[in-house]
């Protein structure tokens, strides 16, 4: 059964077990999906309000565009919950390959590196989607339903945690890659995502006046 097909209690129980997967990557993807969902809730609570309908067509259109894009972010993160665990399992399977002969050792090494690329690509996608979510919800701070402002704050915190958690999962796998240019490029991209994501999060949290 896929992780996303489990009920909440069973999913939590599977995380709280001796199995190394699902781990931080899948949990980060779920956190990001929940963050996107919370901002979508804010959107649902905004678009039919009289105050929103009094805004210019341009503002309404931009709000709805972001609201709809967030659904795509949420859906992608839902898929990545399972993909991260699948990628981890591929790495573990590669490490279990035989290594008695030189040919086996070479094949095993190649399989490990190939699986490691996947174990980097998946959390990288989690980080990128979580960052995209943060970019989208900043607009909601000004035009979203003020009664749901704290939900927007929780959304920002979850998306930020998802982004930073996913980056941790990228970086732990980078030492397994021999292509130094690739490692440098991915590491730099991760650092930029975290820096920019943190800036957006702080802007949103700073705009929540209680």
Which residue range forms the structural domain that includes residue 99?
A: 23-206
Owner of token pair 């996303």: 4
In a domain, 41, yes or no: yes
**115 domain-assigned:** yes
> Whose structure tokens read 């050792």?
105
Report the pLDDT value the prediction gives residue 134, as an integer from 0 to 100.
98
In this structure, the chain runs to a length of: 210
- From 90, 75, 148, 154, select the one nearest 120 (Cα to Cα): 90
pTM, to two decimals? 0.96
Determine contact, residues 113/151, Cβ cutoff 8 Å.
no
Nearest Cα neighbor of 64 from 76, 46, 37 is 46
Q: Kindly state whether residue 5 falls inside one of the protein's structural domains.
A: no
Q: In this structure, what CATH number is given to the domain that contains residue 168? A: 1.20.120.680
Per DSSP, 100 falls in state S
Contacts 24+ apart (CB under 8 A), 12-21: 20/88, 20/92, 21/84, 21/85, 21/88, 21/89
- 25 near 59, Cβ under 8 Å? no
pLDDT at 199: 98
Write down the pLDDT at residue 106.
93
In a domain, 14, yes or no: no
Whether 133 is covered by a domain: the verdict is yes
Report if residue 58 sits inside a domain.
yes
Number of domains in the chain: 1
The pLDDT value recorded for residue 98 is 94
Give the pLDDT confidence score for residue 180 in this predicted structure. 97
- Residue numbers of the chain with a pLDDT score lower than 50: none
pLDDT tens, position by position, 82-139: 999 999 999 999 999 999 999 999 999 999 999 999 999 999 999 999 999 999 999 9
Q: Is residue 39 part of a domain?
A: yes
Residue 100 lies in a domain: yes
């Amino acid at each position: 059964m896929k992780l996303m097909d489990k009920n909440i209690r069973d999913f939590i129980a599977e995380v709280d077990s001796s199995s190394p997967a699902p781990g931080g990557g899948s949990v980060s993807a779920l956190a990001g999906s929940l963050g996107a969902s919370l901002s979508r809730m804010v959107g649902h609570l905004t678009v039919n309000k009289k105050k929103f309908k009094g805004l210019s067509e341009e503002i309404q259109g931009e709000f709805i565009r972001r609201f709809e894009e967030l659904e795509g972010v949420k859906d992608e993160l839902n898929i990545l919950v399972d993909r991260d665990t699948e990628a981890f399992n591929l790495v573990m399977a590669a490490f279990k390959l035989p290594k008695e002969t030189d040919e086996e050792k070479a094949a095993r090494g190649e399989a490990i590196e190939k699986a490691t690329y996947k174990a980097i690509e998946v959390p990288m996608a989690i980080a990128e989607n979580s960052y995209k979510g943060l970019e989208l919800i900043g607009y909601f701070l000004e035009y979203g339903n003020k009664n749901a402002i704290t939900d927007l704050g929780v959304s920002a915190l979850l998306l930020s945690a998802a982004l930073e958690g996913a980056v941790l999962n990228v970086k732990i796998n980078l030492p397994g890659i021999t292509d130094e240019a690739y490692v440098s490029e991915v590491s730099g991209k991760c650092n930029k995502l975290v820096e920019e994501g943190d800036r957006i999060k702080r802007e949103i949290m700073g705009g929540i006046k209680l």
